[in-house]
Amino acid sequence: MKKNWIVFFGSIAFFIVGAICIIILKLLFGEHYIDAMAVLLIFANVCFIIKNGIKKSDIKKEYIQKMEIKRGGVALIHSFLVFVFWLLYNATRG
């Protein structure tokens, strides 16, 4: 029972921290806060790629399904997808 309360309040705290981060991004970047979020995701993935390197063994179906971005190859795929979705979002914004 105690574990359920910890999970409940932990999820509420996570939501509050996320909302505060989005508010800060809106204050700093205005209407371009989604662009800043995409850049932050791509930057984090590039850091994982630099730290771990890209190995051929990293690109496996099971790693990609679990989206283990700690592996360099999966981080490369994830950063490519974030970049493509960001471009598509900007194309539909007009």
Q: What is the C-alpha to C-alpha distance for residues 70 and 2, in angstroms, rounded to an integer?
A: 31
pLDDT over 80 (residue 94):
no
Average pLDDT of span 62-69: 77
Nearest to 42 by CA among 66, 18, 68, 78: 78
What is the average pLDDT score of the chain?
84
- Which pTM was predicted? 0.64
Q: Residue 20 — pLDDT band, cuts 50, 70, 90?
A: very high
Task: Output the six-digit token pair for 14.
Answer: 């996570």
Q: Give me the pLDDT at residue 12, please.
A: 93
Identity of the residue numbered 24? I
Q: Give me the pLDDT at residue 13, please.
A: 93
Q: What is the DSSP letter of 30?
A: G
